[in-house]
Amino acid sequence: MRGRPRVERDPNDRVPMSIRVRGEVFNRLSATATSNNRALGNEVELLIEQGLERALATIAQSMFGDDSWTRDHRKFARVRERWNKELDELTPVPEGGPLIGMGRDAIEMLKQKRGDSPAARGMLREIASSHAALLPPEIAAEFLAAADADYSNDPSEGDRELGDQWERKIQQIKQGVVQ
């Protein structure tokens, strides 16, 4: 992801958005907006909404062969589940993806109470502070909070080895070996 981290907005807010399109696409959008007596931004928003609705309808049609899903709660829930699965598969990996995965693994290890792992706590602090530019602020805050959370105090023998593995992984990420 380039630019600022995306922040979820109130669904009722009008949110400015900037995109680049080819001149041909701009001219077509502009002509369509003019013929429909709409502002260009309103026309683009409408076309995006219609495209999403058509995509959802296509998924539903492929599942049930008709529009019965619009009247049946269970079918609707199945369509929604499939739609969300499709979107999840299309979701791009955020910048810092490998770091986020490592941080989540460290949190999970602490939550499973395999012992208070100095390596996991150190890894969370390292990721959140030294690599903050690659992380959304809420992820960095989550990692710092988890690093300071109260977990049972039973250090494991595998801690040092785990810390070494994570350190090697961070070095690989810095060198661009791991994507």
> Could you tell me the two tokens for 28?
């077509």
103-112 tens-digit pLDDT: 877 777 777 6
d(CA 22, CA 12): 29
In the predicted structure, residue 160 carries a pLDDT above the cut 60: no
The single-letter code of the amino acid at 123 is M
Q: What is the mean pLDDT of the chain?
A: 77
Structurally, the chain folds into a number of domains equal to: 2
Average pLDDT (27-37) is: 92
**Which two three-digit tokens encode residue 90?**
């299309």
Same domain membership, residue 114 and residue 80: no
- Do residues 69 and 61 make contact, with C-beta atoms less than 8 angstroms apart? no
Domain enclosing residue 86, as ranges: 23-90
Query: Angle at the Cα of 79 (from 65 to 56), degrees rounded to 5?
Result: 80
**Of the residues 41, 56, 90, which one is the last residue of a structural domain?**
90
| Residues whose CB is less than 8 angstroms from the CB of residue 175 and which lie 6 or more positions away in sequence, other chains included | none
Kindly tell me if the per-residue pLDDT of 34 is higher than 70: yes
